[in-house]
Amino acid sequence: MHLSDISSFFPDHHKPFLVTGPCSAESEEQLLTIASELPKEKVSLFRAGIWKPRTRPGTFEGMGVDALKWLQTVRQEVGFRVTCEVANAEHVEACLKHEIDVLWIGARSTVNPFTVQEIADALRGTQIPVMIKNPVNPDVNLWMGAIERIHAAGIEQIVAIHRGFPGFEKTRYRNEPMWEIPIELNRLLPDSPLLCDPSHICGNRSGLQAVAQKAMDLNFDGLMIETHHEPDKALSDKHQQITPSALAELLNDLILRQTSTDNELFNLTLEELRDQIDKKDNRLLKLFKERMDLVEKIGAYKFDNNITILQPERWNDIITTRIDWAEQIELMPDFILQIFQQIHQESIRKQTEVMNSKSERVES
């Protein structure tokens, strides 16, 4: 799959590629006020939702097709290129008619292949860039699938947007970032530009800076951040929107690091450290193998003595001792817990395999 990089469709863009503007278009004055207060030279694309996918009915659902004209006014009067969310073929047609520069597909649409296909079919024959948010559930294949559907309709200018994943537990995030998912998408689709949307990840203003910084440190191409001239009065997502001047401050405080350098000393030191990591990983793998060989022996021994694979007290003992040992050497308990859960799962799988093959032999 060939995807264009951002500079092929935004030749004047500089990093970070910045998409900003309100969650929702509320009035023409609101859009013009926000647009005129934004740091003009830093904005790549002005956003505003026209049709709002709301979790519960009875809340503000967007101003609809009339607001497309307001976006046109922002383009004419302030000079920004403009984007809005589309969720069906009718939205796509209205946006094309009003010469919206870029479209985006929201998280609640990416999750549904029928919706994405309907949008893709409506886009066939056009060359409009499309930004695709991650689906609401943490499935990298579903995100890839949406990109593939839009690409198969002939669109090469596709940008992925990471906006996090809702979870059951209340955490400091509205949507858990689960950074491993956009990192995996980037590994599978290295050509696809990748933005981060700290506003929908955080759901509040205080976490934005740290999430935006993390995205830059992970080499994301840009950011989507919601802005409103009076955030507390916003008709949607009021807790997470920031004023244009707060956005300017956030951008000023953002540290942009290079992806590589020609400093020879740095490169040699990095190579040496990576070499040491390679050796440690190799030792780790050998230890995993030795551990798994023991698991195999235990499986056979349990079978011969007619003992169950899982003994909850032993599993509980493993968890508590390993976490205790981890804390003693300053390793994060959560990290160690996750690793041992994976190891234990594999041990059970291995012992089941051993038991099944031994019982087949007994039967035959």
DSSP 103: E
The Cα 88–Cα 259 span in angstroms is 38
DSSP assignment of 66-85, as one string?
A: HHHHHHHHHHHHH---EEEE
> Which residue spans within the chain are E strands per DSSP?
17-21, 45-47, 82-85, 102-105, 130-133, 158-162, 194-196, 222-226
Q: Compute φ and ψ for 171, nearest 5 degrees.
A: -130, -170
81 lies in the binding site for ligand PEP (CB under 6 A)? no
Stretch that binds ligand PEP, among 67-75, 91-99, 100-108, 312-320 (CB under 6 A): 100-108
CB 80 within 8 A of CB 35: yes
Stretch that binds ligand PEP, among 75-83, 106-114, 179-187, 207-215 (CB under 6 A): 106-114
163 lies in the binding site for ligand PEP (CB under 6 A)? yes
Task: State in angstroms the smallest separation of the CB of 194 from ligand PEP.
Answer: 14
Estimate to the nearest angstrom the gap between the alpha carbon of 95 and the chain centroid. Answer: 25
**Segment 225-264, which members bind Mn ion (CB under 5 A)?**
237
Give just the sign of the alpha carbon dihedral 86, 92, 94, 97. positive
Task: State in angstroms the smallest separation of the CB of 211 from Mn ion.
Answer: 15
The Cα 191–Cα 2 span in angstroms is 7
Question: Which one of Mn ion, ligand PEP, none interacts with residue 228, CB within 5 to 8 A by kind?
Answer: none
Question: Which one of ligand PEP, Mn ion, none interacts with residue 98, CB within 5 to 8 A by kind?
Answer: none
23 lies in the binding site for ligand PEP (CB under 6 A)? yes
62 lies in the binding site for ligand PEP (CB under 6 A)? no
Nearest to 136 by CA among 173, 112, 165: 165
Closest to ligand PEP by CB, 234 vs 354, is 234
Closest to ligand PEP by CB, 24 vs 347, is 24
Task: State in angstroms the smallest separation of the CB of 262 from ligand PEP.
Answer: 39
Question: Which one of ligand PEP, Mn ion, none interacts with residue 163, CB within 5 to 8 A by kind?
Answer: ligand PEP
Name the one residue in this structure whose structure tokens are 């859960």.
341
107 lies in the binding site for ligand PEP (CB under 6 A)? yes
- The mark string for 110-149 relative to ligand PEP (x by CB under 6 A, - otherwise) is -----------------------x----------------
Q: Where are the alpha helices (DSSP H) in 39-127?
A: 66-78, 89-97, 107-110, 113-123
Q: Which of 49, 62, 177, 198 binds ligand PEP (CB under 6 A)?
A: 49
The helix or strand, by DSSP H or E, that contains position 18, with its residue range, turns out to be strand 17-21
DSSP 170: -
Closest to ligand PEP by CB, 144 vs 354, is 144
**Segment 4-43, which members bind Mn ion (CB under 5 A)?**
23
Q: What are the tokens at 354? A: 């051993």
* 20 SS3 class: strand
- The residues that touch ligand PEP, with contacts defined as CB under 6 A, are 23, 49, 53, 106-108, 133, 163, 200
- The residues that touch Mn ion, with contacts defined as CB under 5 A, are 23, 237
